[in-house]
Amino acid sequence: MKGWYCVDDKKDLLDAELKDGNCPMCGKKPVRVDYCAKTAPGEKVPDRARITYACAGCAATGEFEKDFKHEDGCKKKSSALKKVCSKSGTPPHQTIPK
């Protein structure tokens, strides 16, 4: 599931909260991010968490794929990054396409 995140305010935003495509609090353009979703038994609304990124070859982690930096000497810089649920620290739960 895709969504918006304001880096300056450190806040997840819904499409309805945006004002002319910008954060309602600071007025800056938020970053488009991926979310994973997990629905508890008996609940209709999924709990969502931002997806963060980790390298399998080094201990580097990052909030955004485009800004990810590997540690010096990482031998897996060319391999794909692992997606990680920011709440559980495990691979993403069910992802819901938007």
Asked whether residue 8 is domain-assigned, the answer is yes
Asked whether residue 92 is domain-assigned, the answer is no
State if pTM tops 0.75: no
Taking CA atoms, 50 is separated from 73, 74, 75, 97, in Å, by 28, 25, 27, 14
Asked whether residue 95 is domain-assigned, the answer is no
Number of domains within the chain = 1
User: Residues 9, 2: contact at Cβ < 8 Å?
Assistant: no
What is the number of other CB atoms lying within 10 angstroms of the CB of residue 42? 5
Burial 46-60 (b: 16+ CB within 10 A, else e): bebbbbbbbbeebeb
Asked whether residue 98 is domain-assigned, the answer is no
Range of the domain at 29: 2-85
Asked whether residue 76 is domain-assigned, the answer is yes
Asked whether residue 55 is domain-assigned, the answer is yes
For the chain, give the percent of residues with pLDDT over 90: 50
Asked whether residue 97 is domain-assigned, the answer is no
What is the number of other CB atoms lying within 10 angstroms of the CB of residue 33? 20
pLDDT tens-digit series, residues 23-39? 999 999 999 999 888 77
Q: What is the mean pLDDT of the chain?
A: 87
